[in-house]
Amino acid sequence: MSGRIADPAARAEALAAAFEAQGHEARAFAERIRGIATDAWRPENGARVVARAWTDPAYRARLLADGTAACAELGYEGAQGEYIVVLEDTPELHNVIVCTQCSCTAWPVLGLPPDWYKSPAYRARVARQPRRVLREMGLELPTGVRIRVWDTSAETRYLVLPLRPEGTEDWSEESLAAIVTREAMIGVAFVEAPAAWPQPRPPSRDAMPDQG
């Protein structure tokens, strides 16, 4: 044996062939999952959850009490959404999500994770240096705001309920949902109106540690 590792596509094809040899419809199943990931697991779902919470106090209370059930009220449930905990930002506290072990997110409301969320730089540093990492990604928090980092577990998925931007008191739920980004629901950006917050910059790999 040469010791060469096959590329991911070749390994996936070998697995599919092995499963189908046992009578399983592996390729059809993979295509179904691909379709769900593309069409059903979308950050727009989480944006609608956030907008509903901003405009409906009763829904907000249910969301904070039981995120899983409240997301399911809007039709967002399923794989990687079996136990969703919603984290409420306040003027004094900012929440940010990471998965230090891999790259888990609440798929039904956040979609599949973006590349920066999966990067070793983000996963390794945000729990130790949250203020610096957020600054590198374009989010400057006031000194008096505390930061709490939540590490996704094997069972628990998180969704940040960001602060509603000022000047949107008369906005419709639909208009509010349009300005909520996946980055804000992970905790690396604010929701801003009317202009959308820019995509976060990847954190650097070589910055010196600080106290966060």
**Which active-site residues does the annotation give?**
99, 102-104
By DSSP bridging, strand 146-151 and strand 93-98 are parallel
Per the DSSP assignment, residues forming a β-bridge with 96 are 149
CA 64 distance to own-chain centroid: 17
